[in-house]
C-alpha cells in the first residue's frame, strides 16, 4: 500500500456494451438465461463496477504483488441497457480500514442511472493468496 491510497480517490470508467455481456451470454449452460432479453446482465454489471474500483486504486498499491478482491457488494440494477450503449461508471474510495476499502459506485448508460450502491474490496498479497487457494484446491 502506498501513502497516496487515501479516501477521496475518484475514477471514471467507460464501457461499450457488446452482445457478449447480455443476459443470455451470462451462463451459456442455462436454458433459462438463453431465452431472456438481450440486455446488460447484472452479473456483468457487478464485474464492471469491480473493474472500475480496481482501476481507481491500482496506482496507489504495489500492483501486481498487491491486488484487491471483492468482499461485499450492495448495489441496485434499476434500468435495462441494450447492447451498443456506453456505460459510464463513477467510483469513489470512501474509507480505508486496514486493508479493507469501501467505495461508492454508480453507473449510467447515457439515458438512465442504471446502478448505485457500495462495494467493499480487500487488499491482498497475491503470492500469499495464491498459496492459500492452492492448498484449498488440494483438499477437494
Query: Which residues are designated catalytic?
Result: 42, 50, 77
Q: Which candidate, 60, 58, 124, 119, places its Cα nearest to that of 94?
A: 119
Q: Are 23 and 33 in contact (CB under 8 A)?
A: yes
Distance from first CA to last CA of the chain, Å, rounded? Answer: 33
All 3 cell numbers of residue 33?
438465461
CA atoms within 13 A on the CB side of 17: 27
Amino acid at each position: 500500500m502506498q501513502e497516496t491510497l487515501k479516501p477521496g480517490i475518484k475514477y471514471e470508467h467507460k464501457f461499450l456494451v457488446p452482445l457478449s455481456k447480455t443476459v443470455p451470454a451470462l451462463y451459456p449452460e442455462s436454458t433459462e438465461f438463453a431465452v431472456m432479453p438481450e440486455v446488460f446482465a447484472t452479473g456483468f454489471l457487478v464485474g464492471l463496477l469491480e473493474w472500475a474500483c480496481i482501476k481507481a486504486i491500482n496506482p496507489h498499491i504495489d500492483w501486481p504483488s498487491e491486488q484487491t478482491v471483492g468482499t461485499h457488494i450492495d448495489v441496485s440494477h434499476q434500468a435495462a441497457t441494450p447492447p451498443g450503449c456506453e456505460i459510464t461508471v463513477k467510483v469513489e474510495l470512501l474509507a480505508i480500514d486496514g486493508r479493507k476499502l469501501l467505495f461508492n459506485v454508480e453507473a449510467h448508460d447515457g439515458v438512465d442511472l442504471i446502478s448505485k450502491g457500495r462495494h467493499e474490496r480487500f487488499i491482498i498479497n497475491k503470492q500469499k493468496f495464491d498459496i492459500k487457494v492452492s492448498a484449498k484446491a488440494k483438499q477437494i
